[in-house]
Structure 1
C-alpha cells in the first residue's frame, strides 16, 4: 500500500501542471494555505478582533480586510436595518467579494444577510418582512451612488403570462421599483384572465428573497452590481426558530462584517442541520454540473469547484484554482459582468454620475486591450467602443450591443477556464464524471 502523498508532494504535482499552462503559483504561500486548511475543523468559527469580522475559518483564510471600509459603506445601502425587539440582522459578504484575497477581479459585490423576525405568529412575521422590504426599496430607489434594480419576493401561484412573457408556477417573482410602488403585479392565467398578485399576499410565502442595486460608491467610483441575499427566520414567543423559505442556510462562505451580530449568528448557527456541509457541497456540485453541461460557463463552474474542493479536502486542486482567479485574463469575467452593470447604471431615471459611467467603460476597454491579442482584441474593443457611443441611447440597438458584448466576452472566459481546468488530470476527471 502506497503512503498518501504529503501536502508538498500534492502541491508539486499541481505546480507542474500550472507551469505547463503559464499559470504562476506562489509555492510558499500555497503551501501555507494547504497547511492551514488541513488543520481546520469543519465547523470552526473564527473572529478577527482587530477588524471586527468573523466567519468560518475557511472563509477568513481567503479574505483580506484591505477593502473592508468600502464593503461596509456599500453595506449601508443594501442592508436590512435592525428594529429593536422585532428585527435583528447579521450582514455578511459572500461570493467573490468574500474571497478578496484570491479573487482579484470579482464579478459582483454580493452580500448575505440573516434576518430574524420576532413576532407572535408566522403570518405577522411575514407581514413585517413585506413591510420592511418595501420600505427598504423605496428608501434606496436612486441616489448619486446607487440605483435599485429589482427585488425577489414570493412565487407565482400558477403558470401564466406577465407582460407577454411566460412565467412558471413556483418560480420566484421579480419586482421592479414601479411594481413595488404599486404594491402589485398583473399576471394572466392560462385562460387569459388577468390576476392581481399583491405585495402583501406574496409576502406571506416569501420564498427566495433577494435585492439588487447598481452601486458606484466613492472613493472608488467603480460600478458594480450589489446584491443582498436574505435568509429570513421567524422566532416565535417560545424561542422556536423557523426559516421562512423552509431551510436555514449554512455558513461556509460568508464573512460577517459586524462583530456585534455574533449573538444572533450563534443563535441561528445552532439551528443549522448537522449535515449542512454535505447538503451545501451537494448543492454546489449540482451547480457545477449545470455549468459544465447545460449552461456552459466554465468561469462560474471554477468558482463553485473551488468551494467544493476546499470543503471536500481536495486542497491541492483548490490551491490551483486560487491561482487561476488571480490570472490577468480573468479580468474578462469582471468585464462581462460590468457591461450589464454599465447598461443598468445609465438607464432612464438613474442619478449615477454620467462621468463615472464613462470612466468605467474606459477602464473596461483598457482591461480588454491589456489581456487580449489580435483579432479577438479588435473585435471586443470595437464592440465596447460602440457601446460607449450608445451609452445615452435607450434603444433596442444598445440592448443588442450589450448582449453581444457579454456573449463574446463569455466565450473568451469559457475558453480560458476550460483549457486550464482540463489540463489538470484530477480536475478533468471530476468534470468528466459530472458530464456523464
Structure 2
C-alpha cells in the first residue's frame, strides 16, 4: 500500500471528526482509528472468529462491536428463550442479534433480541415440521409466565385464506400470531369474510411454519428495568442423507449475530456451509429495503441509522460507519430505548401480568429520569408530562381507550425527538446525506 493510500483514511476521518465537532458530538479519534485498524485487519483470514476467553463466536465484523461486560445477563435471559437440544433429533445454536449484539457502541439498546438456529433431524420434512410444532408448544407452555417474565406473542405459520380475527380482516399469507390460550387449545377460532366459522389448527400451520418468533417481556428487579426479549428461529430439516432444507425456504446469513456458547460451533459450522454465496449481497439488499421503508414510508430515522451502520460496515464505507456508530452513544439516543420501553409497559398492562406493579412503577420512574438526563427545556417538560400521566394511570392500573391514547401520545412525542436528532446529524455529513437523498429521490 502506498503512502497516499495510507493517508486517505486519516484524511477522511478528520473530515468526519470535524463534522461531528460542529454538531457537538465528541468523536474520539483514537478510538475511531482503533476500530478502523481492527476492521482493516479483519479483512484477512476467515469470516468467523472465536473469543476463547468468553466462549463466544461470530462474524469478525460483528465481534468488533460486542462488549462482553453484560454477557452473564444476556446468557441468563438466553436460558429463558432458548430451545434445548435433544440428542439425535434437535440441535441448536443461540445468538444475540440486533442492537444487543452491538453493545460496545449501542449504549441504549431498544430490545433484547436473540436468534437461534434450530436443526431438526428427521426421516421426512413433514416429521420435522411436527417436531418443531411440539417443541414450540412445549416452550410456550413452560415459559408462559413467571415472577420476572411474561410471554406476549408467538408467530408460527401463515394464513392460507383471508379470515376475520378479533374483528379485523387478516389477509392470506400473513403470519399467524398466537396467544398462549390458542396454543394450549392447538387452534384459533376465526371467521371467513362471509361470516362462516374458520378454524386454524396448530398442527396444520406447522406444515408451512414460515416466520417463527417468540416474544417475552423480562424484568430485572435489581435494576428496576424491563426489556422485550425475542427469539427468532431459523429452522432447518436435516434428512437422513445429510441434506439441509430450511423450513421457511431461506437459510439466514450470520452477519449480525454473536453466538453465546462455543459448544454450538459444530452445528453452526454445519449449517452455514449451506448459506448462499450471495448471502452478503442479499443481506445488504434487504437492509437497504428496510432503510428505504424507514426513510420514506414508516419514518423512523433511528431505525434507519441502525441499518445504515450495518450496511456501511459491511460494504467498506468505514468512515461513514465511524460517524454513525458514534451517534448511538449520544445521551439523546436513550430516547429510542424510552420509546421501546413505553411499548413494553403497554404490553404488560393489557395482560394478566405476572410481573409486579412495583417493577412496572420502577421502570416508569427510570424512563422519567432518562428523559430528564437526556433533554432540557420544553422538549424535556413535554415528554416528562406525558410520562407522569402514564405513571399515574399505571398506579391505578387503568386500561382501555384513555391508557391507549396516553401511550400513543407519549411514544409519538418521543419518536419525534429521536427522528429530529438522527435526521439533523445524519444529513450534516455530505456522504450520508447523498445516500439518504438517493432513497428519497426514488420515491418522489
| TM bin (shorter chain) | over 0.9
Tell me which of 203, 206, 211 is aligned to 1:208.
211
Q: For 1:223, what is the secondary structure of its paired residue?
A: strand
Post-superposition shift, 1:434?
1.2
- Find the counterpart in structure 2 of residue 112 from structure 1: 115
Post-superposition shift, 1:382?
0.8
Is 2:121–2:238's contact at 8 Å kept on the other side of the alignment? yes
Question: Is 1:250 aligned to residue 253 of structure 2?
Answer: yes
Q: For 1:103, what is the secondary structure of its paired residue?
A: coil
- Find the counterpart in structure 1 of residue 18 from structure 2: 16
- Find the counterpart in structure 2 of residue 40 from structure 1: 42
- Find the counterpart in structure 2 of residue 125 from structure 1: 128
Post-superposition shift, 1:164?
1.0
Post-superposition shift, 1:3?
5.8
- Find the counterpart in structure 1 of residue 415 from structure 2: 410
Tell me which of 230, 240, 247 is aligned to 1:237.
240
User: Structure 1 stretch 30-39 or stretch 51-60: which is displaced more?
Assistant: 30-39
- Find the counterpart in structure 1 of residue 84 from structure 2: 81
Q: CA separation in 1, counterparts of 2:316 and 2:347?
A: 40
* Cα deviation 1:79-105 (Å, max 9, x = unaligned): 111111111000000000000000000
Matches within 5 A, 1:11-410: 11-41=13-43, 44-217=47-220, 219-391=222-394, 392-410=397-415
Unaligned runs of 5+ in 1: none
Q: CA separation in 1, counterparts of 2:391 and 2:318?
A: 43
Q: Name the CA shift for 1:352/1:251 in 2 (closer, same or farther; >3 Å).
A: same
Post-superposition shift, 1:219?
4.2
Q: CA separation in 2, counterparts of 1:7 and 1:152?
A: 45
User: Structure 1 stretch 399-408 or stretch 289-298: which is displaced more?
Assistant: 399-408
Q: For 2:336, what is the secondary structure of its paired residue?
A: helix
Is 2:145–2:354's contact at 8 Å kept on the other side of the alignment? yes
Is 1:87–1:117's contact at 8 Å kept on the other side of the alignment? yes
TM-score (structure 2 length as normaliser): 0.96
What CA RMSD, in Å, does the superposition of the two structures yield over aligned residues?
Answer: 1.4
Is 2:163–2:198's contact at 8 Å kept on the other side of the alignment? no
Q: CA separation in 1, counterparts of 2:401 and 2:82?
A: 33
Post-superposition shift, 1:187?
3.0
TM-score (structure 1 length as normaliser): 0.97
Q: CA separation in 1, counterparts of 2:180 and 2:409?
A: 27
Is 1:23–1:327's contact at 8 Å kept on the other side of the alignment? yes
User: Structure 1 stretch 102-111 or stretch 336-345: which is displaced more?
Assistant: 336-345
Post-superposition shift, 1:218?
5.2
Q: For 2:57, what is the secondary structure of its paired residue?
A: strand
Is 2:226–2:363's contact at 8 Å kept on the other side of the alignment? yes
When the two structures are aligned, how many residues end up with a matched partner? 435
Q: CA separation in 2, counterparts of 1:282 and 1:92?
A: 22
- Find the counterpart in structure 2 of residue 430 from structure 1: 435
Q: CA separation in 2, counterparts of 1:374 and 1:219?
A: 31
Q: For 1:6, what is the secondary structure of its paired residue?
A: helix
Q: CA separation in 1, counterparts of 2:250 and 2:18?
A: 42
Q: CA separation in 1, counterparts of 2:437 and 2:33?
A: 28
Q: For 2:270, what is the secondary structure of its paired residue?
A: helix
Q: Name the CA shift for 1:347/1:190 in 2 (closer, same or farther; >3 Å).
A: closer
Is 1:94–1:253's contact at 8 Å kept on the other side of the alignment? yes
Is 2:224–2:366's contact at 8 Å kept on the other side of the alignment? no
* Cα deviation 1:241-283 (Å, max 9, x = unaligned): 0000000000000000000000000001101011100100000
Q: CA separation in 1, counterparts of 2:299 and 2:358?
A: 35
Q: For 2:358, what is the secondary structure of its paired residue?
A: helix
Q: Name the CA shift for 1:218/1:358 in 2 (closer, same or farther; >3 Å).
A: closer
User: Structure 1 stretch 209-218 or stretch 41-50: which is displaced more?
Assistant: 41-50
